[in-house]
Amino acid sequence: MRAPVGTGSFTASNPSPAEPVTAATTASDDLARLMPRIAGGDRSALQQLYSATSAKLFGVCLRILGDREESEDVLQEVYLTIWRRADRFDPARAGVMTWISTIARNRAIDRLRARGPMAYAEPVEELEIADPATPADALLEAAQRSGALAACMGELDERTRDVIRTAFFEGVTYEALASRLSTPLGTVKSWIRRGLLKLRGCLER
């Protein structure tokens, strides 16, 4: 699937964002201001959102699917969904990055499940962390909808809370996160794995 007809030219073959017009383009308030414009059919607003967020959403898809080409296809589906559902965005309930990252995770998980039972034969990091019946992404999404996530995140230590928020809600890959923190990749994965187990325990109480 490619770009919505008439919504501007963006392609999943190179998901890295274009040079931002200004540094403020990626700020939460600026992203939120794009959403009503997208809901009103403003194609340039969708292009701006894509330029500011596509790299992060591609990271979300790639981390779940483990395949670049498939992740690129799913990324296009994500922006088609955003284009069609922008009027449902509620800034009182979630930030733009949280909302669109949830869409990306859902689409990637749907694609993973569509592969059939053998999809789980090769390890996917998020699905290894929690019980296969309750993938970490699905658990966080359900908790976010119920309003319980904020309280349970508050029970984690600051470091664990920050790495989980960065990895899952900002779409930063584990490798990029490890580089940012100057910490071994295995250590970062361990922090996230332990944190998700604590979150699951809290959310299932």
Reported as a single tens digit per residue, the pLDDT across 11-29 is 444 444 444 444 434 467 7
Question: Domain with 58 in it: what CATH number?
Answer: 1.10.1740.10
Tell me, yes or no, whether 115 and 130 share the same domain: no
Which of 175 and 50 is assigned the larger pLDDT? 50
- Burial grade of 4 (CB within 10 A; 0-12, 13-18, 19 or more): middle
Tell me, yes or no, whether 45 and 146 share the same domain: no
The distance of Cα 30 from the centroid of its chain, to the nearest Å, equals 18
Nearest Cα to 64, choosing from 156, 164, 159, 135?
135
Question: Domain with 142 in it: what CATH number?
Answer: 1.10.10.10
Tell me, yes or no, whether 188 and 130 share the same domain: yes
Helix axis angle, 28-39 to 96-114, nearest 10°: 70
**What's the whole-number mean pLDDT along residues 127-131?**
36
pLDDT at 77: 92
Tell me, yes or no, whether 103 and 200 share the same domain: no
pLDDT at 142: 53
Lowest mean pLDDT segment, chosen from 35-44, 123-132, 169-178: 123-132
Tell me, yes or no, whether 26 and 117 share the same domain: yes
Tell me, yes or no, whether 19 and 103 share the same domain: yes
The token pair that represents 179 in the structure block: 């580089």
Question: Range of 10's domain?
Answer: 1-122
Q: Which amino acid is at 21?
A: V
Tell me, yes or no, whether 82 and 151 share the same domain: no
Given 102, 122, 142, which residue is the final one in a domain?
122
Q: Is residue 145 predicted with pLDDT exceeding 70?
A: no
Number of domain units in the chain? 2
Nearest Cα to 172, choosing from 63, 74, 77?
63
Tell me, yes or no, whether 44 and 115 share the same domain: yes
Q: Is residue 125 predicted with pLDDT exceeding 50?
A: no
Tell me, yes or no, whether 162 and 199 share the same domain: yes
The residues, ordered by sequence, that sit 6+ positions from 156 with a Cβ below 8 Å of its Cβ are: 164, 195, 198, 199
Q: Is residue 62 predicted with pLDDT exceeding 80?
A: yes
d(CA 94, CA 73): 25
